[in-house]
Chains A and B, each alone.
Chain A
């Protein structure tokens, strides 16, 4: 193709493009889109609020104060400072409760995604590279794992034991790793056929070295970009667990317990359930938008369109 073959020639001359790896190009392309900038700014602002909120706002997330119960948000009639988003049925500040919930949900999301990424990809690369019986057995294990829906697994384990952040992360990792293993394996299968793997074997590199030094660095970043989306997914699961009552237990506030606690007062004090949900949706939205743009730029760069 005329166009394709003329580009490498132009970049072969001492060009600024040198030293720009694929990952840097993906990030740069992503950053160029306005959605990315808006979403990152929003996410950064929420992080800042979560960190600084408890020091600035003169209210408490856990202290019960009957005098201040059912206060609406400040933008409504009857709302008053410092309760920006109002208070719940026990007079606790909703904004602070939401921020604590956000922090916990985010930590659980990040930790579980990192763990399932590491575990899943390690197993996937190993399985795909080794092939044969190793592959068959490992993949059948992922089949078994994937045949138990997350929610059923979660309610069975968390419902039966006493839920705490560790068991919640464990359940999420347990249900999430097979997808990473599958993806990493299928990419490794394709990668194993590539000439650089053969070249590495010819110079005498061991299997471990090829997996860790050659295959992993070239396949993991593209998978990692999409893992951002999973952080948001895990945060939703955390909220669902809280709602059913198998998440982090009270008095620590979580989105799930805030929302389910407010359902009884829906008609009179709708903001207790709806307003914290908006905050959650906002943070998830920013994460998803970041993930979506990264995914799109990754696909564009890998397909050679940009």
Chain B
């Protein structure tokens, strides 16, 4: 199919360019931010000469574009660099305790840190998303089909309520109610699957209102389209029209808002939720990395996140054009 081939050729090449641009922006941002990474690696006790020597060895005194090109070269070889702080055995090593001791080579490779954290994040994301779907898909469809009645009211009030709850606060309240006070569920850290429940609820609370709203709007728009009523006059049942035709049409704007809005939201939500619950995923890794000025970790996570976003968007656009042949990309 020529169209699909051209679509992917064009979009993937564009996507690679976008990821490169994002990588460069983040890379530059981190290099011009205040705080000398050498001081972080070697700790406060390091001598100026040792610092200069390490900087030379790591290439931190070269112009930024050159550093960036070298970085890209390393990535091409599968090397995303090593953490400034974290040791291979896990745990933080940077700072004073082994000031002149371990050379950066013995610090943990970023890619390993990410590989270790990623499954937790995926688990949390999947649970949260599933939970949000469970509530919002039935409610959104019911609210969209009829322009009045209780599903519409419930959808409006519930989504207005949920969207008004800051996730940090919801997290604390749930910890207090479900864990600290009653002891029903575990909350902080991760030991077994039970630890994912409360964080997943918080993620779902953030996603659900957006999903309810977009589903009901998308369904309502298509129910108003003439083909829905005419289909019933043509002899098809309202059920068939809804499930075979309206939902199919509604999928296009939904996929769009999923790619443009919800994936970004989900990622952001995961970061915050992991931080609140000390959940050992990518988000916690990144936030700690920021406070510790662990640049290699930050830039790798940023590049990963934008790659995921870019490619999910390509997939979403392809799915949309397959459903609705009128669309062009």
Contact = CB atoms under 8 A, between A and B. Distances in A.
Interface of A: 35, 140, 143-144, 146-152, 155-157, 159-161, 179, 182, 229, 232-233, 236, 239-240, 243-245, 255-256, 259-260, 262-263, 266-267, 270, 273-274, 277, 280-282, 284-285, 287-289, 292, 296, 299, 303
B35 interface: yes
Given A152-B271, A292-B160, A160 B35 contact: yes
5 smallest A-B Cβ distances: which pairs? A160-B33, A159-B290, A277-B169, A284-B164, A151-B268
B180 A152 contact: no
B30 interface: yes
Most buried by A among B163, B267, B301, B306: B163
9 contacts: A148-B306, A149-B267, A149-B268, A159-B290, A270-B176, A273-B173, A274-B176, A287-B164, A288-B163
A148 B25 contact: yes
A287 B17 CA distance: 39
Contacts of B163: 229, 232-233, 284, 288
A152 B302 contact: yes
Given A152-B271, A155-B287, A157-B29, A147 B168 contact: no
A274 B172 contact: yes
Contact of A151 (B173, B267, B293): B267
Nearest to A263: B172
A156 B169 contact: no
B184 to A, nearest CB: 15
Nearest to A255: B166
Given A240-B168, A243-B168, A148 B305 contact: yes
Contacts of B313: 143
Interface string B250-282: 000000000011001001100110011000000
B264 A150 contact: yes
A236 B269 CA distance: 12
A79 B313 CA distance: 53
Given A239-B169, A273-B172, A156 B305 contact: no
Contact of A244 (B164, B260, B264, B287): B287
Nearest to B181: A267
B246 interface: no
Contacts of A35: 156
Interface residues of B, number: 54
B286 interface: yes
A148 B302 contact: yes
B199 to A, nearest CB: 15
A259 B175 contact: no
Contacts of A140: 14, 17-18
B141 interface: no
Given A140-B14, A149-B268, A244-B287, A277 B166 contact: yes
Contact of B290 (A155, A236, A285): A155
B126 interface: no
A266 B271 CA distance: 22
A289 B19 CA distance: 37
Interface string B59-94: 000000000000000000000000000000000000
Contacts of B271: 149, 151-152, 155
B136 to A, nearest CB: 15
B26 interface: yes
Given A148-B302, A156-B29, A239 B268 contact: no
A147 B309 contact: yes
Contacts of A148: 22, 25-26, 302, 305-306
B166 A292 contact: no
Contacts of B166: 236, 239-240, 255, 277, 280-281, 284
- Among B169, B268, B275, residue most surrounded by chain A Cβ atoms (within 10 Å): B169
Nearest to A289: B160
B115 interface: no
B309 A146 contact: yes
B109 to A, nearest CB: 21
Given A232-B163, A244-B287, 13 more contacts: A144-B22, A148-B26, A152-B302, A156-B29, A182-B260, A229-B163, A259-B172, A267-B181, A273-B172, A282-B164, A288-B163, A292-B160, A299-B217
A244 B172 CA distance: 13
A288 B161 CA distance: 8
Given A151-B267, A151-B272, A273 B169 contact: yes
A295 to B, nearest CB: 9
Contact of B161 (A143, A151, A285): A285
B197 to A, nearest CB: 19
Given A147-B18, A149-B271, A267-B180, A277 B160 contact: no
A266 B165 contact: no
A140 B163 CA distance: 30
Contacts of B237: none
Contacts of B172: 259, 262-263, 266, 273-274, 277
Contacts of A182: 260
Contacts of A296: 156
Interface string B147-189: 0000000001001110111111100110110001100000000
A279 B10 CA distance: 50
A150 B268 contact: yes
A274 B173 CA distance: 7
Contacts of A232: 163-164
Contacts of A151: 267-268, 271-272
B159 A292 contact: yes
